[in-house]
Structure 1
Amino acid sequence: MELLNETKLKQLLDRQEIVALVNDYCNAADRHDQEKMRSLYHPDALDDHGSFFSGLAMEFIDMLPQIQAPMAILHHNVTTVNIKLDGDRAEGEIYILAFHQINTDEGPMDLLIGGRYFDKYSKREGLWKFSHRAVVADWANLHPRSIVNLDNPIIKGSLIGKPGTADPSYEFFSLLKRGERSWGDVIE
């Protein structure tokens, strides 16, 4: 019975670390934090972002500043998480809602995507990271003219999120730091 409980506890901790990895990815993307993003993938990991990129994840991360430059707002939200563990490897189907406000020559436009990440993870040297991630779009809602209104009186005085280090979270938090994972201290 004790061995069964130890196995379940290990699986629970592994699953939680993978969920934290997925959430860290969203945070890194939204804050344009390439250092943190790089820490989430194994060096030989693959990433498939459709027409943006398909290949080695580190090469994709090198391209992120250019890809994200016109994006005034990125807001990724994880919904349904399905993870299957098998020792030091795992797979996940992660449902996502991702809002993008993109600056164009005609002014800002909004894109809301509902989709999934098809993920493969592996645990190396005691740490779970992505070994392969593929983005799947299930639907998209496009507004050629942005409907975002951050000047609305209802949010007057509120902190306003921004990409990069201008985001107010970097002044507010002392434990959640730029470039660092939220989970993953190796305890063995």
Structure 2
Amino acid sequence: MNDLQRLIAKDAIRDLAMRYMRGQDRLDRALQLDTFWPDSTTDYGIFKGCGPDFVAFAQDLLTEHLANQHIIGQHLIEFDETDADRAYGEVYYYAFHRILAEGVPTDMIISGRYVDRYERRGTEWRFAHRSELVDWARTEPAADGILSGDLAACLLGRHDMTDQSYDREWLSNA
């Protein structure tokens, strides 16, 4: 693999990670499902199994949340020395979850890393394996009442596919 091919492959793999997160945060099951090969494996600690089954598990779990936002940090990608169609990665994440804890809006924040094996089949890169390592987590009472006061005119994101980021007609005419 030459330098240009590596650069193009890295861009495709980074885009894969972004699509995974968008699918998760917007509850876009089809988008998230398309990031895993059908025979992929996962190990998240709380779930171990194939990629497609993880997507069903995660989508069902996150539907109960009031909001989610995953922020991706540095992304190290290393290519297999003997197989140009295989790469390994470590992706840092910071995950915000608005949940109800005993009926009270609560923020659960989890930070860690994904450890991945990517495979290219044909021209497409997807996850062949994904593990999630948690480095730290905490909960605290929700404290964003300012959104109903000083910032009440803000455009608010949605926790599903009704989010304005999916509305191309609105964005085209903005």
- Asked if the contact 1:32–1:68 (Cα under 8 Å) also holds between the matched residues in 2, the reply is yes
In structure 2, what is the Cα distance between the partners aligned to 1:65 and 1:105? Answer: 22
On the 8 A contact 2:78/2:87 being kept in 1, the answer is yes
Deviation at 1:165, TM superposition (A): 1.9
Q: Does the CA contact (< 8 Å) of 1:72 and 1:162 recur in 2?
A: no
The gaps in structure 1 that reach 5 residues or longer are: 1-5, 176-188
User: What displacement does 1:150 show?
Assistant: 5.8
Match for residue 46 of structure 1?
41
My pick for the range that moved more, 8-17 or 77-86, is 77-86
Length-normalised TM-score, structure 1: 0.83
Q: Corresponding residue for 1:166?
A: 162
Change (3 A) 1:166 1:105: farther
State how many pairs are aligned.
168
The aligned residue for residue 10 of structure 2 is 15
Alignment partner, residue 139 of structure 1: 136
TM-score (norm 2): 0.89
CA RMSD of aligned residues (A): 1.9
Change beyond 3 A, Cα 1:165–1:89: same
Identity of aligned residues (%): 30
Displacement of 1:61 in angstroms is 1.4
The CA distance in 1 between the partners of 2:125 and 2:29, in whole Å, is 18
Alpha-carbon distance in structure 2 between the residues aligned to 1:100 and 1:18: 25
Asked if the contact 2:24–2:59 (Cα under 8 Å) also holds between the matched residues in 1, the reply is: no
1:31 to 26, 29, 33: 26
Structure 2, unmatched stretches of 5+, are none
Shift of 1:63: 2.2
Distance 1:33 1:149 in 2: 28
Q: Deviations over 1:65-98 (max 9, x none)?
A: 3211221111111111111012100000111111
Residue of structure 1 equivalent to 2:65 = 71
Quickly say closer, same or farther: Cα 1:150–1:42, change in 2 above 3 A. farther
SS in structure 2 of the partner of residue 60 of structure 1: helix
* Range 150-159 or range 21-30, more displaced: 150-159
* Structure of greater relative contact order (alpha carbons < 8 Å, 6+ residues apart): 1
